[in-house]
Amino acid sequence: MNSLFKALDDPTRRKILIMLKSGHLNAGQIANAFDMTKPSISKHLDILKTANLVGAKKSGQFVFYSLNKSAVKTAIAFLESLNT
């Protein structure tokens, strides 16, 4: 759970999650939405993968990333449990 909240702490990573909400994207498509280097985006994607918030699947020469909705649901359930 700590890695999940660390991942959510960064605005770039939150924007990536919002982008993936619509469907899977490759790293280049994600990087094009930001004014930063591709290695920086890769680091953000690695943090999101470590937190299990995104999954990655290689297809040919591309790696496609997708939102792990079950991890999001787990985080929401935890936060809601604090409100009871």
Helix (H) or strand (E) holding 48: helix 38-50
HSE-CB of 77 using CA atoms within 13 angstroms? 7
Predicted local confidence at residue 24, as pLDDT? 95
Predicted local confidence at residue 84, as pLDDT? 77
Boundaries of every domain in the chain: 2-81
CA distances from residue 80 to 19, 36, 68, 69, 77 in whole angstroms, order as listed: 24, 35, 19, 16, 5
The topology (CATH level 3) of 2-81 is Arc Repressor Mutant, subunit A (1.10.10)
- pTM of the predicted protein model: 0.90
Question: What does each of the 84 residues of the chain score in pLDDT, given as a tens digit?
Answer: 788 889 999 999 999 999 999 999 999 999 999 999 999 999 999 999 999 999 999 999 999 999 999 998 988 999 999 987
